[in-house]
Chains A and B, each alone.
Chain A
Amino acid sequence: MGFDFDVIQRSWSYLFLEGMTFTVTLTLLAMTGGIIFGTLLAMMRLSAFKPLSAAAGAYVNLMRSVPLVLVIFWFFFLVPYIGAWITGASQPVKVGAWMSAVITFTMFEAAYYCEIMRAGIQSIPRGQVWAGYALGLNYWQSMGQIVLPQAFRNMLPILLTQTIILFQDTSLVYVISATDFLGAASKVANRDYRLVEMYTFVAVVYFIISYGLSTVVKRLQDRIAIIR
């Protein structure tokens, strides 16, 4: 049997300009949205107002108990109905794989980022918040100016590690036939019947990027570690 690695060169621009761009953009959007939404969830979970913390806790536990593939399916079918509900349309709105993927990953990763930020917030000595209140700051000021900056810094390596996992997990949009890096490769592989070459290449590319990023995170971890 012969291998034909030319197929990679022939489909290079499709793989990277279309596929990898999808993957990277999705990762960055879901990271940004996930960290913002996750931090809000973490603040809700730590709230003294019971219904608020219970609601956030239920959301986080639900997301963390269900496989990502199932969540992707859920949102793929649910988002058109939510869209119809928001816009008041009588028919489910057409959303498409891209929009659906962005919403899914933002909502799903928020649950994981939430748990990281919660641990980060809890790692700050309570006296600092009291000191903030004693200086006359309100809840949002002491959170925004004292607690969150430190929590964020302490948790930065774990937040980035979670982002590398997110980057790898975006490949699961394959199940809704989106054209991310894996989706693009799989379409070429099936068209030209070059599955061995394409999937091996995909694995190598993912490995290089993820390994490279995790090396950077490790360096960063050593550099920003607070000496106590």
Chain B
Amino acid sequence: MGYHWNWKVLLDTEPGGTGTYLQYLIVGLGWTLVTALAAWVIALAIGALVGTLRTTPYPWVVRAGNLYVEIFRNVPLIVQMFLWFFVMPELLPQELGDWIKQMPPPWGSFIPAVLCLGIFTSVRIAEQVRAGINSLPRGQRMAGTALGLTLGQTYRHVVLPQAFRIILPPLTSESMNIIKNSSVALTIGLLELTGRARAMQEFSFRVFEAFATATVIYLLTNLVVVLLMRAIEHKVRVPGLIGSQTVQAGH
């Protein structure tokens, strides 16, 4: 097709002088994973909380949870990135806003990216948690009540331990999504894997070597995540249940 491949470019020194292009991309993978992992912690914490609250018998709590989910589900991720990066510092008190804007790179884009990605993903986890809790037979809760447990105790000892084990398979796909979605952070200047592949293409003019290498790194990362999650799933599977696979829309 008239394209001359030159894979040796991966061993050339990148213009920043930190090492070869290959090392440059692998450091990018490091940033991708750190961003995804930090956001994953936020997403799990908020998602588990909001998802649980949406199954409680208190209408106002449920409504507040629904509002949270609808807001962060219906705005594109890149727009949310821009809100955290460009808009939030302007709406905070002056000193705090200026302090955020003056954070040295990469922290100035890393922190908004983690917050944004964490909250974006928490909504999807909240949906999974709610679905997991609602999939339990109603009798389980009633049995809890009949045994004299309070609502809190029923959740703590009966509902949540089962629900969290049920939702593990869908969480696998969410943990891969969060890695993929972290690439959107390149739009606010975070040099993660995709951002670095793009930069490498600009510096070296080796378009397809850069993107092909990044693609292979993503595929390997996915493979590792799938194997890891499969091992965890195997460990915590609820005995006696058929593993269920659900279809859902995604990106």
Looking at A30-38, A65-73, A95-103, A126-134, the stretch in contact with chain B turns out to be: A65-73
B207 within 8 A of A: yes
Would you call A66 and B186 a contact (CB within 8 A)? no
Task: Name, among A90, A164, A174, A203, the residue most crowded by chain B CB atoms within 10 Å (CB to CB).
Answer: A203
Give the chain A neighbours of B82 by CB distance below 8 A. Answer: 186, 195, 199, 202
Would you call A77 and B78 a contact (CB within 8 A)? no
Looking at B141-149, B163-171, B212-220, the stretch in contact with chain A turns out to be: B212-220
A158 within 8 A of B: yes
Would you call B1 and A82 a contact (CB within 8 A)? yes
Dominant SS at the A interface?
helix
Give the chain B neighbours of A171 by CB distance below 8 A. Answer: 76, 78-79
A143 within 8 A of B: no
Q: How many A-B residue pairs have CB under 8 A?
A: 130
Distance (whole angstroms) from the CB of B90 to the closest CB of chain A: 5
- A residues adjacent to B (C-beta < 8 A): 1, 62, 65-70, 73-74, 77-78, 81-82, 84-85, 90-92, 112, 115-116, 119, 155, 158, 161-162, 164-166, 168-169, 171-172, 174-175, 182, 186, 195-196, 199-200, 202-203, 206-207, 210-211, 214
A-B contact pairs, 24 of them (CB 8 A): A62-B219, A65-B219, A65-B222, A66-B218, A67-B181, A67-B184, A70-B215, A73-B211, A74-B211, A81-B1, A81-B2, A90-B2, A112-B251, A119-B247, A164-B249, A166-B251, A168-B77, A172-B78, A182-B76, A182-B78, A200-B83, A202-B82, A210-B75, A214-B73
* Cβ-closest 3 pairs across A and B: A210-B74, A67-B183, A162-B249
